[in-house]
Chains A and B, each alone.
Chain A
């Protein structure tokens, strides 16, 4: 703020009279600025931060949805966590989640997304728009709709896939539930990686590629020596974000509901089933806490990366 004693400088004629306004552009002042931020922060505090803290508290109690423990929950310390660690169902779910993230996000979406972006990089015209449009369509349609489309596609007796392959009676969702949700989620989420790599490849200087080509580098050598060093940051960003999203994705529930027999019960579905279907809120909260911690590790890693890039 300009000192009061100095004569008004023509360049600073828009400076506020001291005391009334502070020195920001709109003359908001800290008080009003605080009032502008407060409603949003209040909502975030009540419906985002508080639940995250409460989940830790719940995990330490023997809360149940109904019955005696619902009326009079007791503090049980780390019992819920110990129960989770010794429960094979929890480890099965963790292992299935790992397969789901690795198969559909890290391998499926990244490879497919990059392949499409790489193939289409020099293309113009309708074919490119059609391919991109279809990939994006799979991504933007509501999850309840696409899940049912896949139920129809994979139907044992009259599904289109079995009709095309001539293997009617092959029960994809019953006999290969994990494979089904992995391919489904690859189909569903490739658009994000495709667009991110499309943008990243646009930043690779064409002259570098050109000189590599003139030096006789093969397609793979061009990728390895010219393209990957340029988009390394994008690859890491992409991997972290889609792993985080896939890890927290609830849509396998819409396709298989975790079944048959828990064979596709990823952690997201496992929490829902133990906490809200079986009513064991305390145990479900303990697993939620584990999910939160894993999310935290991935997110901190991601934000570090963002900062180091700037």
Chain B
């Protein structure tokens, strides 16, 4: 019995330490934006909203969030449409070399990372005149995310019954009509997963926009955040904390939405 009690106390102590370890770094983000004179130290806020006023007046902060949104949505649309089309064809039609292609895709997506490919991608962007172009960055990001997306969505396609498509065909629907009106509604949860996964990836991505966008007006929030705390002498903690919070909130909302709606199902490749 004493052993059991000691064990319980041990477990609760460990939980308390873990909670502290995971909470303390986050506290600053929860308090500093609402403090009128924030320092690095975590203090009880005086619940001011002045700092948010500063963000509205800041020349780059809000625009960088818009840029993040443009990049995320643009990439998500491209990745969802292209991966759904490709995965559908690969799931339903025995194209020659399909299995080898899928294997190659899986392999490529895991070995060619931003770190390994930053030098050639930078050169490629210069040669193709894609530096400082949102379109260019969207294409590059999509190329990197597509293999994993095709893989994930093909899993969804494989598990949907083919009988709906077959009966739609009996009634004379064309292949494109079948895809649009039969298949897409069936795999909607899969498409939503891919969309959220892509947005989360692009929203947080720092390396690629940092390499390929030098124009401050075009940089997304990740790059502006970094610029705010590394350049220009004393960092403005009011702007930094408030901007960090605004930049983080969409990710948290998206996560809550996904885990509420679908349950946070485990996908091996959800984060690269």
| Chain A residues within CB distance 8 Å of chain B | 13-14, 16, 21-22, 24-30, 32-34, 36-37, 39-41, 43-44, 46-52, 54-55, 58, 63, 112, 115-116, 119, 127, 130-131, 134-153, 155, 157-161, 163-164, 187, 192, 195-196, 199, 237, 241, 244-245, 248-251, 254, 257, 267-268, 271-272, 275-276, 281, 284-285, 288, 291-292, 295-296, 299-300, 302-303
Taking a contact as CB atoms under 8 Å apart, the answer to whether A26 and B169 are in contact is: yes
The answer for the CA separation of A210 and B102 in the assembled complex, in Å, is 42
B31 to chain A, nearest CB (A): 10
Judging by beta carbons under 8 Å apart, are B116 and A276 in contact?
no
Docked Cα-Cα span, A285 to B244, in Å, equals 34
Tell me if B76 counts as interface (CB < 8 A to partner A). no
Whether the Cβ atoms of B29 and A149 lie closer than 8 Å is yes
CB distance from B116 to the nearest CB of A (A): 5
CB atoms of B166 and A299 under 8 A apart: no
B70 adjacent to chain A (CB < 8 Å): no
If A24-B92, A37-B86 touch, whether A250 touches B114 (CB-CB below 8 Å) is yes
**Secondary structure call for the A interface:** helix
A288 in contact with B119 given A14-B169, A25-B162, A34-B95 (CB within 8 Å): yes
Let me know if B28 is at the binding interface, CB within 8 A: yes
Most B-side CB within 10 Å, residue of A37, A46, A248 = A37
Can you report 8 A-B residue pairs in the complex whose CB atoms are below 8 A from each other? A21-B169, A26-B183, A27-B175, A34-B89, A51-B117, A142-B247, A160-B24, A187-B25
Binding stretch for chain A, among B44-52, B55-63, B136-144, B187-195: B136-144
**Which 9 pairs between the two chains have the least Cβ-Cβ distance?**
A47-B143, A25-B162, A36-B89, A51-B120, A33-B93, A295-B111, A33-B89, A144-B225, A40-B86
Kindly state the separation between the CA atoms of A237 and B144 in the bound complex, as whole angstroms: 22
Interface residues of B in 92-116 (CB under 8 A from A): 92-95, 103, 105-116
Q: Closest A-chain residue to B107, C-beta based?
A: A299
Query: Does the CB pair B111–A292 fall under 8 Å?
Result: yes
A244 to B112, CA, bound (A): 11
Given contacts A47-B121, A138-B22, A148-B240, is CB(A55)–CB(B89) below 8 Å? no
A158 B119 Cβ-Cβ under 8 A = no
Closest-CB distance, A6 to chain B (whole angstroms):
19
Contacts of B272 in A (CB 8 A): 245
B28 in contact with A149 (CB, 8 Å): yes
* Mask of B122-154 contacts with A, CB within 8 angstroms, 1/0: 111000000000000001101110110010000
Compute how far the CA of A140 lies from the CA of B90 in the bound complex, rounded to whole angstroms. 31
- A134 → B minimal CB distance (Å): 4
Q: A25 and B111: CB pair below 8 A?
A: no
Which of these, B15, B110, B123, contacts A119 with CB under 8 Å? B15
* Chain B nearest Cβ from A97, distance in angstroms: 10
Which residues in B have their C-beta under 8 angstroms from that of A151?
A: 229
A158 to B32, CA, bound (A): 13
Residues of A near B119 (CB, < 8 A) are 55, 58, 271, 275-276, 281, 284-285, 288
- B204 contact from A48, A51, A142, A187, Cβ within 8 A: A142
> B89 and A52: CB pair below 8 A?
no
Tell me how far the C-beta of A123 lies from the nearest C-beta in chain B, rounded to whole angstroms: 9
Contact A47 B140 (CB under 8 A): yes
Interface size on B, residues (CB 8 A): 97
Say how far B15's CB is from chain A's closest CB, in angstroms: 7
Q: A295 to B23, alpha carbons, bound, how many Å?
A: 33
Contacts of A119 in B (CB 8 A): 11, 14-15
Specify the chain B residue showing the minimal Cβ separation from A16.
B169
Given A46-B143, A145-B225, the answer on whether A40 and B83 have CB atoms closer than 8 Å is: yes
A42 to chain B, nearest CB (A): 9
Interface: B206 (CB within 8 A) = yes
Query: Can you name 9 extra interface pairs (CB under 8 A) apart from A21-B169, A142-B247, A144-B226?
Result: A40-B86, A48-B144, A48-B147, A49-B112, A50-B120, A143-B206, A145-B248, A250-B206, A276-B119
Q: Are B221 and A142 in contact (CB under 8 A)?
A: yes
- B179 A58 Cβ-Cβ under 8 A: no
Asked if A131 and B19 sit within 8 Å, CB to CB, the answer is yes
- Indicate if the CB atoms of A303 and B106 lie closer than 8 Å: yes
State A241–B269 Cα separation when bound (angstroms): 9
Q: How far is the CA of A34 from the CA of B11 in the complex (A)?
A: 57
Q: Which residue of B lies closest to A199 (CB)?
A: B266
Give the distance in Å from the alpha carbon of A141 to the alpha carbon of B29 in the complex: 11
The reply to whether A14 and B166 form a contact with Cβ atoms under 8 Å apart is yes
Check if A271 sits within 8 Å of B92, measured CB to CB: no
Q: A37 contacts which chain B residues (CB < 8 A)?
A: 85-86, 89-90, 95
Evaluate whether A288 and B24 lie within 8 angstroms (CB atoms) in the complex, with A136-B255, A295-B110 already known. Answer: no
Nearest CB on B from A62, distance (A): 14
Chain B residues within an 8 Å CB radius of A160: 24, 27-28, 40-42
Which chain B positions have C-beta within 8 A of A134? Answer: 19, 22-23, 26
